[in-house]
């Protein structure tokens, strides 16, 4: 009979090994080995990639608990239709713990994204410091920290309590990129309570998007902190696209904090549905700005009560 106690070190309420309320549980540790079974903390895998592969073999609703330390995976961590309901979580989740404890690092390592989620529904990613690859790390392209629904419909993604750390002040990659043009393939994404240390602009004719949402419906971006540094004249914190026939519907951008961005902190392209009553912006604070139009670019119809420094923004 399974012991019904909790794995206390994880900081989250899980039953004992392989009896998680979410399905089988797999463990990753810097002292582990990919030759292990991964079923208990003392038999942990060494890499997240191995745990993801094992979870895909064993069925849905698995949990992967990653111990403290820095993980430099050989390639992108790919979550696919084999991983519906997967919880990929750091051992310690909570305010500020992602700053120092469990890092997925591609900067100076692999020329790849940290995590891609394509075709995997109801996935949760929480508690990590995510350090994506940038051009100044010896590669010619910047890579997203997390990409969602770039090649397949992906519903119910929950990204929370992570620290997105962009090492370089220029040519920074996107923190979260969700959806592609002309489809509803990024449905019900929630990006909540993360910390984004964003880099500078991509260059004179391109933009740095900290969060880029190309297409989707029923999304929430809430309680995040965005801090910019470097050249920010082409920097957009949250980019909500309605280009071409794209449609972003029923997206709520609520109670976020934005520091030191210079232009277009929230942008929706006013060519169709995204500014037609489907994007709601309320309770956000913009700190260190000089004018309302530095807070909102192209969207003035759907804002509630937001704040420029301490004053209410006239939306």
CA distances from 33 to 24, 26, 39, 69 (A): 19, 13, 12, 14
Q: Are 177 and 185 in contact (CB under 8 A)?
A: no
Q: What's the CA gap between 236 and 240, in Å, rounded? A: 10
Residue 30 in this model has a pLDDT that exceeds 70: yes
The per-residue pLDDT for 13 is 42
Of the listed ranges 74-78, 168-172, 304-308, the one predicted with least confidence: 168-172
Of the listed ranges 140-144, 213-217, 254-258, 265-269, the one predicted with least confidence: 265-269
Q: Are 127 and 159 in contact (CB under 8 A)?
A: no
Percent of the chain with pLDDT over 90: 42
Of the listed ranges 24-28, 224-228, 300-304, the one predicted with least confidence: 300-304
Residue 11 in this model has a pLDDT that exceeds 70: no
Of the listed ranges 65-69, 257-261, 307-311, the one predicted with least confidence: 257-261
Q: φ and ψ at 53, to 5 degrees?
A: -65, -40
Of the listed ranges 118-127, 128-137, 241-250, the one predicted with least confidence: 241-250
Band of residue 268 on the pLDDT scale cut at 50, 70, 90: low
DSSP letter (8 states) at residue 20: B
CA atoms within 13 Å, Cβ hemisphere of 171: 12
Band of residue 296 on the pLDDT scale cut at 50, 70, 90: confident
Q: Higher pLDDT residue, 246 or 127?
A: 127
Q: What's the CA gap between 37 and 25, in Å, rounded? A: 11
Global pTM value: 0.87
Q: Higher pLDDT residue, 299 or 9?
A: 299
Q: How many helices (H) and strands (E) does the chain have?
A: 1, 31
- For 238-262, what is each residue's pLDDT tens digit? 888 766 565 677 788 899 998 876 6
The label of the residue with tokens 């038999």 reads 43
The per-residue pLDDT for 17 is 44
* Residue 102 parent element (H or E): strand 102-105
Residue 232 in this model has a pLDDT that exceeds 80: no
């Amino acid at each position: 009979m399974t012991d019904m106690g909790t794995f206390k070190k994880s900081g989250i309420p899980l039953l004992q090994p392989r009896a998680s309320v979410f399905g089988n549980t797999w463990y990753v540790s810097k002292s582990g080995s990919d030759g292990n079974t991964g079923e208990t903390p003392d038999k942990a895998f060494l890499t997240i990639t191995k745990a993801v592969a094992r979870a895909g073999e064993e069925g849905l609703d698995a949990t992967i608990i990653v111990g403290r330390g820095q993980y430099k995976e050989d390639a992108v961590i790919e979550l696919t239709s084999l991983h519906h309901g997967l919880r990929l979580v750091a051992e310690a989740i909570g305010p500020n713990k992602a700053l120092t404890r469990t890092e997925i690092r591609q900067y100076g390592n692999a020329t790849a994204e940290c995590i891609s989620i394509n075709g995997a529904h109801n996935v949760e990613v929480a508690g990590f410091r995510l350090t994506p690859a940038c051009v100044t790390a010896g590669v010619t392209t910047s890579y997203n920290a997390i990409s969602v629904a770039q090649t397949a419909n992906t519903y119910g993604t929950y990204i929370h309590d992570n620290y997105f750390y962009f090492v370089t002040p220029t040519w920074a990659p996107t923190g979260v990129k969700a959806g592609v043009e002309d489809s509803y393939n990024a449905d019900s994404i929630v990006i909540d309570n993360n910390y984004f240390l964003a880099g500078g602009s991509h260059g004179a004719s391109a933009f740095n998007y900290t969060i880029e949402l190309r297409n989707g419906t029923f999304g929430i971006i809430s309680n995040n902190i965005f801090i910019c540094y470097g050249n920010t004249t082409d920097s957009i914190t949250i980019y909500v696209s309605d280009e071409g026939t794209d449609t972003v519907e029923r997206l709520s951008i609520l109670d976020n904090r934005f520091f030191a961005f210079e232009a277009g902190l929230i942008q929706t392209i006013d060519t169709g549905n995204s500014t037609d009553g489907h994007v709601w912006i309320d309770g956000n604070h913009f700190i260190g700005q000089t004018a309302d139009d530095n807070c909102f670019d192209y969207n003035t119809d759907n804002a509630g009560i937001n704040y420029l420094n301490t004053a209410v923004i006239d939306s």
